[in-house]
Structure 1
Amino acid sequence: MKRLFSKVINSKWFQHPIFWVLSIYVIGDYFAISNFLKSVDFYYALLFHIPLFALVYLNLNLLVPKLLQKGRYFIYGLLAIALIHLAYGLHELTFEFLLPLLPLEYYMVSFTDYEVLVTVFLIYIVLTTLLKLSKSWYKLQRVEKEKLTIELDSLKAQVNPHFLFNSLNSIYSLALSKSDQTAETVLELSNLLRYMLYEVSEDEVSLSKELEMLENYIELQKLRSDISTQVRLNIKGDLEGKMIAPLLFFPLIENSFKHGVKGVSDSAYVDISLNVEDGIVFSIQNNKGVIDDMEDGKYGGIGLENVKRRLALIYTGKHEFKIEETEKDFKVKLTIK
């Protein structure tokens, strides 16, 4: 019902009649022959609007879309002046030739001089042009917002599906060995999937909830890592009341496990730090795996590009994203102001 109401309100079939009814009332009141509006005033206002209708709709449907919105300002200005004078001529024809043909009991003449008429026509052409441009701008903003929403949803969905496949394989291995960790691991994966599927539709989620899911994510990633791999998570500051875009840190952690700990057994590590004392500072550092474990020999890949794009869309001008790389280590630091 709300959607239907909004559609009706935004429809030109609703907005235009409202505009013209108000316009007729204002013109009738402005040119009224007494302190009170009479029927003759509305008849006069209706006749007065004949050139206004032509002026407005020729401008809105021809001059604005064909010239003004395409940057042809000089030609638009010339034709707008010509259109105003055309409306003036139509006004004179209406009261000189059309009015005597109408079976009205009133005798009316146009007592408006040239300067007043041109001023009124100019006001209408400027007003309706601004309304047209503002509505076009609003529609453009809405389309851009919808495009951004679609893109953000797509980026959220890019958390590597291979992670799910590998996690299920790891759980299968635990089940075969009758490990006591099997049930707990299934629960961790279930909670994580429920979070990804149902709880990240909002623009922001609580940082404490995101951290809880990150811990589940890390535990599942550790199943695929060598037992000697050192994984450390350090939290500093109060998370209460802090909000963050969902799934923003996940690709960074996935990147560290994917490219860092594979292929190395004795020196593999992942250090994760979250500091919320002054803004939100998330950093993650890991050793480098062998070259075969990197995508095209380049560290980062799709995961980092995903994060960069989401940051650009969500935290425009409010973030800092740094990558430091040495022969043995790789570090990413994200600061959200």
Structure 2
Amino acid sequence: MNPFKIFISKKWVQHLAFWVLSFYFIGSYFSISGFLKFIDFIYSGFFHIPLVLLVYINIRYLIPKFLQKENYFPFILLSIFNIGLAYFIHELLFEIIIPTIPEEFVGVFYIVSFTDIQVLIAIFGSYVVITTLLKLSKSWYELQQLEKERLSLELNSLKMQINPHFLFNSLNSMYSLARKKSEKAPDAILRLSNLMRYMIYEVSEEVPLSKEIDAIQDYLDLQKLRLEEDANITFAVEGETEHQMIAPLLFFPIIENSFKHGLKGDKGTNFVSIMIKNTHTELTFHVTNNKGTTDHSEEGKYGGIGLANVKKRLHLIYGDLAHMEVKDANDSFDVLIKIKWND
């Protein structure tokens, strides 16, 4: 991380910057001359005593205890009381305490506040609003960072969740091809290598759609090695895929789900159909597979955690721009995802 970003991310630096700007603003606002004099800094220093109390009561107590818990009425009521307390301390300082300070400590300066109550209330109220907005914006930013970290953890988890059965079956199929000295063996090994490299090393926050499609094709070709020849596996791609970026491994749980739970019908009825269509406005991903009578033993489990994870990732990454439909029929399972591109 950039050292400067690390430095400015420290709380004490942010608070110091805020109070330096505040000190300068108050001194300039109440300055009699066109430029700041020493007396202006003295006045600003006394003026900030109630301001500091006002601000930290707001950000340390009122916002976390009431506003962030959506207790709006107590927050407003206590904020008004907080402003009143700041006004009382201001008056106590400038009307009672400061006039009693011996002249040898004050020097030649005569410190007094002629500020109207309306102006003081406006200033104190502004500080409540400004610090509330700063606190909420920082909380929002931290929440976004947490969501981003969660997405990163989920992606790393997906990298490690390559189905062991898929790898075991693929290696067994390759072993069988090698024993038969089949010409398909080198290509199968290459496809598994490409798929593993992509899943473990090449994925980031976003990848070109074309790379995701290549990985899906490698996955399908490896699955075909262990399936009967009559299984109908189709994969169609429409539209431009080179320049469009997409969240990686987004569709793999659904595709894996179609092979794990599908293809269980009678001979000649097994199929998995996958379609990806990209336009300048949206991406469509559509998977359909047959189920078969053996799925009754898994009733209520079809789709499972894989679909829930996909829904969660879609919401976190694309929000309202993504839509997912699931149709669970007696003999087929259908998943449709549409992602609108943000212009």
Q: What's the TM-score, normalizing by structure 2?
A: 0.84
Give a deviation string over 1:214-235, Cα, whole Å, max 9, x none: 2211111011101332333333
Gaps of 5+ in 1: none
Partner of 2:311: 308
The secondary structure found in structure 1 opposite 2:227 is: coil
Give a deviation string over 1:266-297, Cα, whole Å, max 9, x none: 43333333333573333333333441696347
Match runs of 1:118-129 below 5 Å: 118-129=121-132
Go from structure 1 to structure 2 and tell me whether the alpha carbon gap of 1:45 and 1:306 turns closer, same or farther (over 3 Å shift): closer
Distance apart, 1:9 and its partner CA:
0.8
2:335 corresponds to 1:332: yes
Tell which deviates more after alignment, 153-162 or 224-233: 153-162
Aligned residue among 232, 235, 249 for 1:233 = 235
Partner of 2:12: 13
Distance apart, 1:79 and its partner CA:
3.4
Equivalent-residue separation in structure 1 for 2:304 and 2:35 (angstroms): 75
The secondary structure found in structure 2 opposite 1:261 is: coil
Equivalent-residue separation in structure 1 for 2:7 and 2:83 (angstroms): 32
Give a deviation string over 1:172-224, Cα, whole Å, max 9, x none: 2222333232222111100110011111222x322222222222111110111
Partner of 2:163: 160
Go from structure 1 to structure 2 and tell me whether the alpha carbon gap of 1:63 and 1:249 turns closer, same or farther (over 3 Å shift): closer
Equivalent-residue separation in structure 2 for 1:23 and 1:267 (angstroms): 75
Go from structure 1 to structure 2 and tell me whether the alpha carbon gap of 1:258 and 1:309 turns closer, same or farther (over 3 Å shift): same
Go from structure 1 to structure 2 and tell me whether the alpha carbon gap of 1:158 and 1:22 turns closer, same or farther (over 3 Å shift): same
What letter is aligned with 2:68?
Q
Identical-residue share of aligned pairs (%): 52
Aligned residues: 335
What letter is aligned with 1:124?
Y
The answer to whether the 8 Å contact 1:155/1:306 transfers is no
Tell which deviates more after alignment, 31-40 or 64-73: 64-73
Go from structure 1 to structure 2 and tell me whether the alpha carbon gap of 1:98 and 1:110 turns closer, same or farther (over 3 Å shift): closer
Partner of 2:244: 242
Go from structure 1 to structure 2 and tell me whether the alpha carbon gap of 1:168 and 1:60 turns closer, same or farther (over 3 Å shift): same
2:181 corresponds to 1:182: no
The answer to whether the 8 Å contact 1:295/1:301 transfers is no
Go from structure 1 to structure 2 and tell me whether the alpha carbon gap of 1:300 and 1:38 turns closer, same or farther (over 3 Å shift): closer
The answer to whether the 8 Å contact 1:32/1:41 transfers is yes
Equivalent-residue separation in structure 2 for 1:326 and 1:122 (angstroms): 60
Distance apart, 1:324 and its partner CA:
4.3
Go from structure 1 to structure 2 and tell me whether the alpha carbon gap of 1:75 and 1:328 turns closer, same or farther (over 3 Å shift): closer
Aligned residue among 210, 220, 223 for 2:222 = 220
Partner of 1:24: 23
What letter is aligned with 1:41?
D
Equivalent-residue separation in structure 2 for 1:7 and 1:135 (angstroms): 15
What letter is aligned with 1:239?
T
Go from structure 1 to structure 2 and tell me whether the alpha carbon gap of 1:253 and 1:23 turns closer, same or farther (over 3 Å shift): closer
Go from structure 1 to structure 2 and tell me whether the alpha carbon gap of 1:308 and 1:44 turns closer, same or farther (over 3 Å shift): closer
Aligned residue among 166, 171, 175 for 1:172 = 175
2:53 corresponds to 1:54: yes
Equivalent-residue separation in structure 2 for 1:321 and 1:79 (angstroms): 45
The answer to whether the 8 Å contact 1:270/1:284 transfers is yes
Go from structure 1 to structure 2 and tell me whether the alpha carbon gap of 1:300 and 1:264 turns closer, same or farther (over 3 Å shift): farther
Go from structure 1 to structure 2 and tell me whether the alpha carbon gap of 1:156 and 1:289 turns closer, same or farther (over 3 Å shift): farther
Tell which deviates more after alignment, 10-19 or 188-197: 10-19
Q: What's the TM-score, normalizing by structure 1?
A: 0.85
Equivalent-residue separation in structure 2 for 1:32 and 1:187 (angstroms): 76
Equivalent-residue separation in structure 2 for 1:97 and 1:331 (angstroms): 78
RMSD: 2.9
The answer to whether the 8 Å contact 1:270/1:287 transfers is yes
Equivalent-residue separation in structure 1 for 2:66 and 2:329 (angstroms): 56
Gaps of 5+ in 2: none
Aligned residue among 141, 145, 148 for 1:145 = 148
The secondary structure found in structure 2 opposite 1:88 is: helix
Equivalent-residue separation in structure 2 for 1:325 and 1:58 (angstroms): 55
The secondary structure found in structure 1 opposite 2:286 is: strand
The answer to whether the 8 Å contact 1:87/1:121 transfers is yes
Go from structure 1 to structure 2 and tell me whether the alpha carbon gap of 1:126 and 1:107 turns closer, same or farther (over 3 Å shift): same
Give a deviation string over 1:16-75, Cα, whole Å, max 9, x none: 222222222222222223223221222222122222222222333233333333344433
